[in-house]
C-alpha cells in the first residue's frame, strides 16, 4: 500500500505565513504592540535548551517578541515562583511558558497553578484544561492542537473513526484524548487511551483507524501491530549521534499505513507553530481589552 507522509514542516510553514499576515493586519497596521512571549527555563537539561532555542528561532522568524529568563541549575522553587509572578504582572508579556521537565526539588503542580490562566499559552493550567474538556474556547496544549491541525489540513476526517492513543501524559496523550472525543470541532472520534498498565496493546492498535504514539520509546509501534490503511502519528523524538528517531518503527509501518508522520518534520514543527498561534491568540485578546 502507498503510505503518504504527513509533512508537518510544510503545514507549519503555511500556518506561520497566516500568523504573520494576522500580525500585520490586526497589530502592526493598527499601531498596536507586537505579541510578546515569555519563556522561563530552569537548569541545563540539554533537550530543554534545544526546545527553548527552537521556540526562540520560531519567534524571531515570525516577528513575535520574546523574553527569556534562564534560572541556573539548583534554583529554588521560590525563585521560579518569583519569576512567574513577574511574568503574570508584566503588562507587556501576552503569554508565557515554563519549560518542562523541572528539577526534582520543584513541585510541578505548584508551578502550573501559579501561572495566570490568561497567559498560560501552553494550556496546562487546570482552568484551561477544564475548559478544553468542556468545549469552551481556550488555549489547547500545543502538541495536541498541532496533531489535530495537521490532520485537518490534510483533510483527514476523524469523526466516526476509532483512535488509539499510546501514552497518557498531561502534555500529549491526555489532552489529545480529550480533544478527539469531544462533541465538537476536531472531535467525534471513539478514543481508547492506553498506557504502561494496558495489557496487550496490539489488541487495540490492530483495530484502530488512527494511532497516536506518544510513549517515549524509540520504534515502539511496529508494522505488525497495525491494520492495513491505518493513519499513524508519531509524537516521539529521540536523538543519537547518527539520527533522530520516533516512537514508530518507520520502516515496518511504512507501506502498511495509509498516512504516517515522519520524524523529524512531522509533529515537532506543528507543536512549535501552535505555541505561536496561542501567543497570537493571547495578544489579540489583550489588544481587544486595550481598546
The residues that touch ligand NAP, with contacts defined as CB under 6 A, are 143, 166-169, 171-173, 194-198, 201, 214-217, 235-238, 247, 267-268, 271
Comparing CB distances to ligand NAP, the nearer of 153 and 238 is 238
Which is nearer to ligand NAP, 48 or 88 (by Cβ)? 48
Q: How far is the CB of 122 from ligand NAP (least distance, A)?
A: 11
Q: Which is nearer to ligand NAP, 9 or 258 (CB)?
A: 9
Given the residues 94, 120, 122, 209, select the one marked as catalytic: 122
55 is catalytic: yes
Task: Dihedral sign for Cα 105, 236, 216, 231, please.
Answer: positive
For residues 3 and 89, give the distance between their C-alpha atoms in angstroms, rounded to a whole number: 49
Contact by Cβ (8 Å): 55, 39: yes
How many whole angstroms separate alpha carbon 134 and alpha carbon 90? 29
Q: Extract the C-alpha cell encoding 213.
A: 504514539
In whole angstroms, the minimum distance from the beta carbon of 268 to ligand NAP comes to 4
Residue 138 or 271: the one with the smaller Cβ distance to ligand NAP is 271
CB 255 within 8 A of CB 228: no
135 included as an active-site residue: no
Asked if 165 and 193 touch (Cβ cutoff 8 Å), the reply is yes
234-237-239 Cα angle (round to 5): 140
Nearer to ligand NAP, 241 or 290 (CB): 241
Residues 6 or more apart whose Cβ sits within 8 Å of residue 117: 125, 127, 128
**DSSP assigned state of 201:** H
Distance CA 195, CA 198 (A): 5
Catalytic residue, chosen from 99, 120, 161, 234, is 99
Question: Contact 135/128 with Cβ under 8 angstroms?
Answer: no
To ligand NAP, the closest distance from the beta carbon of 48 in angstroms equals 11
Supply the minimum distance, in Å, between the C-beta of residue 53 and ligand NAP.
14
CB of 138 to ligand NAP, least distance (A): 19
| Residues noted as catalytic | 55, 99, 122
Amino acid at each position: 500500500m502507498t503510505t503518504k507522509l504527513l509533512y508537518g514542516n510544510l503545514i507549519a510553514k503555511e500556518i506561520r505565513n497566516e500568523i504573520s499576515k494576522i500580525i500585520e493586519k490586526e497589530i502592526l497596521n493598527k499601531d498596536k504592540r507586537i505579541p510578546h512571549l515569555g519563556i522561563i527555563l530552569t537548569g541545563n537539561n540539554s533537550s530543554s535548551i534545544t526546545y527553548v532555542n527552537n521556540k526562540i528561532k520560531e519567534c524571531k522568524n515570525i516577528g513575535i517578541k520574546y523574553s527569556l529568563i534562564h534560572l541556573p541549575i539548583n534554583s529554588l522553587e521560590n525563585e521560579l515562583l518569583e519569576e512567574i509572578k513577574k511574568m503574570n504582572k508584566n503588562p507587556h508579556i501576552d503569554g508565557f511558558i515554563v519549560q518542562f521537565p523541572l528539577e526534582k526539588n520543584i513541585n510541578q503542580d505548584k508551578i502550573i497553578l501559579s501561572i495566570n490562566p490568561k497567559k498560560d499559552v501552553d494550556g496546562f493550567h487546570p482552568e484551561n484544561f477544564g475548559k478544553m474538556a468542556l468545549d469552551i474556547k481556550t488555549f489547547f496544549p500545543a502538541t495536541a492542537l498541532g496533531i489535530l491541525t495537521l490532520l485537518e489540513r490534510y483533510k483527514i476526517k476523524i469523526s466516526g473513526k476509532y483512535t488509539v492513543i499510546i501514552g497518557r501524559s498531561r502534555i500529549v496523550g491526555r489532552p489529545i484524548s480529550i480533544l478527539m472525543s469531544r462533541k465538537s470541532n476536531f472531535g467525534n472520534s471513539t478514543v481508547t487511551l492506553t498506557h504502561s498498565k494496558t495489557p496487550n496493546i496490539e489488541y487495540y492498535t490492530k483495530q484502530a483507524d488512527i494511532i497516536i504514539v506518544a510513549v517515549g520509546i524509540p520504534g515502539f509501534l511496529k508494522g505488525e501491530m497495525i491494520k492495513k490503511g491505518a493513519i499513524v502519528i508519531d509524537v516521539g523524538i529521540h536523538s543519537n549521534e547518527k539520527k533522530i528517531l520516533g516512537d514508530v518503527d518507520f520502516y515496518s509501518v511504512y507501506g502498511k499505513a495509509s498516512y504516517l508522520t515522519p520524524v523529524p518534520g512531522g509533529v515537532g514543527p506543528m507543536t512549535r507553530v501552535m505555541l505561536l498561534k496561542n501567543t497570537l491568540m493571547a495578544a489579540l485578546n489583550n489588544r481587544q481589552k486595550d481598546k
